[in-house]
């Protein structure tokens, strides 16, 4: 009886645990059912505008029935990316396996900065699987991070330390430059600024047929060398944010090799075309030749936020940039301080959660083939949207290359009126809880943009959204001021 009571009743002196574990168990079962219902019925839960006064509703100290508050005051006001008609920006849709990973991760509360426990082995397994899918060799190394923005900083820091071996001791003494296609994701600019290079050191190279012009890049490198500036890294884009385009990775790898420059690939979502069917898998040919790759699992691998990866071809370069062991972090032959791979040696975080658990659960639950099929389907869906756009008399603003389709609803209007109409269509569809498109600027026009990184989307969702766009465009919603 005494032991049973200990299992049911909390420690009355510990106010940070349930007073009654059995009652808490019932609450958790109720909450889990509500979460499962919401995930299974994702199509019934589009984005909705949060009500005024929500911050006051969340004010600390109100207490009450927490399960009811989570269900009624928190879950309804999500960002919408779980819905099958969410194609705004580039956001992943989340997976049922995330629920398993979240529960187990919370129960374990692992700190994966180092020491000898299972989460380190799991992260190593996820990194090893990814480097094989990307075509990197056995010497490659990696660390899971919040996302590509953080991964880019880590990768470019490794490039700096390789270029200037005493950088960590003495700092940079000579100017360096980084090269990327005009329109590269702003994560690259932020990384260049955070590393102290200044964004004027980021050379934006014009496009040739929509991708980085290799001849223009070579000329820019030659000009900088002639000025005594050290060319540090080329940032190749595998899946541009606006259009889903891909630089010629083999051509850039050839140039980087002959010039002795670090090649980094921004593969935030596009790297995952490695899993897709033809012709999309060929878009990332050559990615395994890079010195580093930044990518996200929470985008086109659909895993819940947040988990990205900095992948570096040579573990020696990776450790040289970050490893440091003060006395309180010394390893031992046995016990909890055992283990050679402490992930604090591969990035800036000492305290870090078990991000690998979400990825591992997803791959073990569904299998690699399911992800390959979903990624391929998303590419086909972008192509379908492009076909429907043209069939309805609307206009593509660029060819559909991978999973992104950018278009204008009324090409017969002036640029200003097209822009106004497209913005209004996007906003109206969002507020009406229908499809979510985002917008971007191309050719002087604000365009509608759909990025397919949603495993719940089916073709009928796309056809319905096109009909909604056409109806709004024909209505000619053009007030005048935006």
**Do the beta carbons of residue 298 and residue 304 sit within 8 Å?**
yes
Please report the pLDDT score of residue 148 as a whole number: 97
Q: What is the signed CA dihedral for 292, 98, 16, 75, rounded to 10 degrees?
A: 110
Question: What's the pLDDT band for 450 if we cut at 50, 70, 90?
Answer: very high
Rounded CA separation 68/29 (Å) = 13
**Do the beta carbons of residue 295 and residue 259 sit within 8 Å?**
no
Instruction: Return the bridge partners of 439, or none.
Output: 448
pLDDT at 478 over 70: no
pLDDT at 11 over 80: no
Mean pLDDT to the nearest integer, 325-352: 88
Question: What's the pLDDT band for 334 if we cut at 50, 70, 90?
Answer: confident
Average pLDDT, the chain: 94
Q: For 133-154, what is each residue's pLDDT tens digit?
A: 999 999 999 999 999 999 999 9
Rounded to 5 degrees, what are φ and ψ at 176? Answer: -130, 155
Alpha helices in 137-226 (DSSP H): 148-163, 167-170, 186-194, 214-226
Q: For 362-418, what is each residue's pLDDT tens digit?
A: 999 999 999 999 999 999 999 999 999 999 999 999 999 999 999 999 999 999 999
**Do the beta carbons of residue 243 and residue 270 sit within 8 Å?**
no
% of the chain exceeding 70 in pLDDT:
96
Question: What's the pLDDT band for 481 if we cut at 50, 70, 90?
Answer: very low
% of the chain exceeding 90 in pLDDT:
89
Mean pLDDT to the nearest integer, 316-336: 89
Question: What's the pLDDT band for 175 if we cut at 50, 70, 90?
Answer: very high
Cβ-based burial of 12 (10 A; exposed 0-12, middle 13-18, buried ≥19): exposed
Q: What is the DSSP letter of 70?
A: I
Instruction: Return the bridge partners of 235, or none.
Output: 180, 264
* Nearest one of 252, 284, 294, 295 to 379, comparing CA atoms: 284
Q: For 214-262, what is each residue's pLDDT tens digit?
A: 999 999 999 999 999 999 999 999 999 999 999 999 999 999 999 999 9
Rounded CA separation 428/229 (Å) = 50
Q: For 58-103, what is each residue's pLDDT tens digit?
A: 999 999 999 999 999 999 999 999 999 999 999 999 999 999 999 9
Mean pLDDT to the nearest integer, 159-179: 94
**Do the beta carbons of residue 411 and residue 435 sit within 8 Å?**
no
């Amino acid at each position: 009886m005494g032991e049973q009571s200990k299992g049911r009743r909390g420690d009355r002196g510990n106010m940070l645990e349930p007073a009654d574990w059995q009652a808490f168990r019932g609450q958790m079962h109720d909450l889990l059912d509500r979460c499962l219902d919401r995930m299974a019925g994702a199509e019934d839960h589009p984005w909705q505008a949060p009500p005024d006064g929500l911050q006051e509703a969340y004010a600390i100290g109100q207490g009450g029935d927490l399960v009811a508050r989570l269900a009624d005051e928190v879950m309804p006001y999500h960002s919408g990316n779980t819905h099958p008609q969410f194609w705004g920006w580039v956001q992943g849709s989340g997976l049922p396996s995330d629920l398993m990973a979240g529960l187990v991760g919370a129960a374990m509360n692992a700190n994966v900065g180092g020491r000898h426990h299972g989460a380190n082995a799991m992260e190593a397994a996820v990194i090893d699987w990814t480097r094989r899918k990307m075509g990197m060799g056995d010497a490659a190394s990696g660390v899971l991070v919040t996302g590509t923005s953080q991964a880019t900083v880590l990768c470019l820091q490794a490039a700096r330390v390789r270029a200037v071996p005493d950088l960590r001791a003495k700092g940079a003494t000579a100017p360096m430059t980084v090269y990327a296609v005009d329109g590269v994701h702003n994560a690259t600019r932020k990384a260049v600024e955070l590393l102290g290079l200044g964004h004027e050191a980021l050379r934006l190279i014009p496009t040739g047929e929509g991708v980085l012009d290799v001849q223009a890049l070579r000329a820019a490198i030659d000009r900088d060398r002639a000025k005594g500036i050290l060319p540090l890294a080329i940032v190749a884009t595998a899946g541009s944010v606006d259009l889903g385009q891909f630089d010629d990775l083999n051509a850039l790898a050839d140039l980087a090799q002959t010039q002795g420059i670090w090649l980094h690939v921004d593969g935030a979502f596009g790297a995952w075309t490695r899993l897709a069917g033809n012709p999309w898998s060929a878009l990332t040919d050559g990615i395994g030749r890079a010195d580093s790759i930044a990518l996200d699992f929470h985008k086109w691998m659909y895993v819940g936020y947040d988990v990205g990866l900095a992948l570096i071809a040579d573990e020696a370069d990776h450790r040289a940039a970050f490893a440091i062991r003060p006395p309180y972090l010394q390893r031992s032959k046995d016990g909890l301080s055992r283990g050679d791979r402490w992930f604090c040696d591969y990035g800036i975080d000492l305290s870090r959660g078990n991000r690998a658990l979400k990825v591992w659960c997803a791959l073990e639950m569904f299998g690699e083939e399911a992800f390959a099929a979903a990624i391929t389907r998303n590419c086909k869906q972008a192509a379908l949207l492009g076909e429907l756009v043209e069939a309805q008399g609307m206009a593509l603003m660029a060819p559909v290359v991978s999973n992104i389709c950018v278009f204008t609803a009324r090409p017969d209007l002036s640029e200003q009126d097209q822009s106004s109409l497209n913005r209004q269509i996007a906003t109206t569809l969002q507020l009406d809880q229908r499809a979510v498109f985002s917008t971007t600027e191309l050719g002087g026009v604000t365009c509608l943009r759909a990025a397919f990184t949603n495993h719940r989307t089916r073709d009928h969702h796309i056809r319905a959204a096109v009909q909604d766009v056409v109806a709004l465009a024909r209505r000619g919603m053009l007030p005048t001021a935006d």
